[in-house]
A = this chain, B = another copy of it.
């Protein structure tokens, strides 16, 4: 390995504006998988972008949105895989955006747009790193690189597991860099050793053929009240999920997990200030707030029933529905939880309540802090950010990384990205900071540079 870090950095600084322009072009193309808006157009744009950066791009059809795969060969036989996605969350509520979500705008060194960070900014930062390394290596790459860019991450990646399983020969790699990553509020780079699983469902109840006049509320069965009873039955005010057997498969955090977690900064004050939160769930504070990530959750994404417009409408609603997501910890199995949810409703007398799964289930994942790629990323991070890498044993969010680790063997998976603590991802005014974009590219260039020799140096 030749240390070409200064060359990478000079290259990236010189071309930063061009890459930000490229992010803007991608963000200007809506790609809302939740309602299939602009997604296919964005897939085409991603394929073109990969080709522009010297990758052989290939579109893999799935029953849902296509997966775009880009391949570039390098000097060594080793292969590093990047996972990204081109779909974004819905931008609503629109009135809370300072500038429209699909009109990328730079203000004070920040690029605002839906997808600016999650995940289009991330994707382009990696292409920039590849370009920088290729330039320093006189047009070659030190290892093979595969990009997997899917279009259904924001709806739970329903087809990525099958894709990874069906194409595992073509995706063989010795390590992967997942979407997301970046720096904490104090500027420290970080990495994670696992993520929670997720199961999203919509519960629906219909008590009558149509809404009735609320003058008959003493007779007509209300779907709205019935849904409230269903929700009550699922979780108590103590946050304990009341589905029988729900906690059966939970693997409690180890002593090391808890030590690493307790060593993490608390974001309590940041959240209080930034979000105006008076009280967190169950009144948790400090280390307790961090440790809560080891608890599975039952969240209401939204409730839909009755009259929503201005003023009053004197009706008893005939239909009501709630979208929920469960975040699962190792070793809970989303398919098992779905079965237990049905059993719970039946046992509680809610046989009339329908369950529709939304998107694909996601399994929780967890791996080791001792992995050589994890250590390389930490070293490279320290060089770029001048601070030691912080390790999160488990994060609250979910990603389809299980689909790859299950199919491709226990490959190490790391994070290295453009994020910071206030990107507003999934919310109005999502943005990426230009300085974070640059540093992420510098970080990834160093990882790419070191990856080829990793096996010789540490026996992996």
A311 at the interface (CB under 8 A from B): yes
User: Given A277-B208, A427-B212, A218 and B396 touching (CB < 8 A)?
Assistant: yes
**Complex interface residues of chain A between 186 and 223 (CB less than 8 A to chain B):** 196, 198, 200, 202, 207-222
B-facing residues in A271-308 (Cβ within 8 Å): 271, 274-281, 284, 289, 292-293, 295, 297-308
Nearest Cβ distance between residue A249 and chain B, in whole angstroms? Answer: 18
Do A34 and B311 touch (CB < 8 A)? yes
A225-B235, A228-B231 given as contacts; is B219 within 8 A of A289 (CB)? yes
Within 8 A of B (CB), among A363-402: 395-398
Q: Spot the interface stretch: A40-48, A69-77, A314-322.
A: A314-322
Please state if A305 and B303 are interface contacts (CB–CB under 8 Å).
yes
Contact status B221-A280, CB under 8 Å: yes
Complex: chain B residue closest to A395, CB-CB: B215
A33 touches B (CB below 8 Å) = yes
- Tell yes or no: A92 within 8 A of B by CB: yes
Give the Cβ gap from A30 to chain B, nearest Cβ, in Å: 14
Across the interface, which residues of B come within 8 angstroms of A424, CB to CB?
210
Q: In the assembled complex, which residues on chain B have CB atoms less than 8 Å from the CB atom of A214?
A: 297, 299, 301, 325, 327
Interfacial chain B residues near A274, Cβ < 8 Å: 209
A192 to chain B, nearest CB (A): 11
- Once the chains bind, are B300 and A225 in contact (CB under 8 Å)? yes
Q: List 27 A-B contacts (CB under 8 A).
A: A34-B310, A34-B313, A196-B215, A208-B276, A209-B274, A210-B427, A212-B426, A213-B427, A216-B396, A217-B281, A217-B299, A217-B396, A219-B271, A219-B284, A220-B280, A221-B279, A221-B280, A225-B231, A225-B235, A229-B237, A232-B232, A301-B306, A301-B317, A302-B313, A303-B304, A304-B308, A306-B323
Q: Kindly list 16 other residue pairs between chains A and B, CB separation below 8 angstroms, not including A198-B314, A209-B275, A217-B298.
A: A33-B311, A89-B313, A154-B314, A211-B426, A213-B397, A215-B397, A218-B281, A218-B292, A219-B396, A224-B303, A225-B231, A229-B237, A232-B232, A302-B305, A303-B303, A303-B306
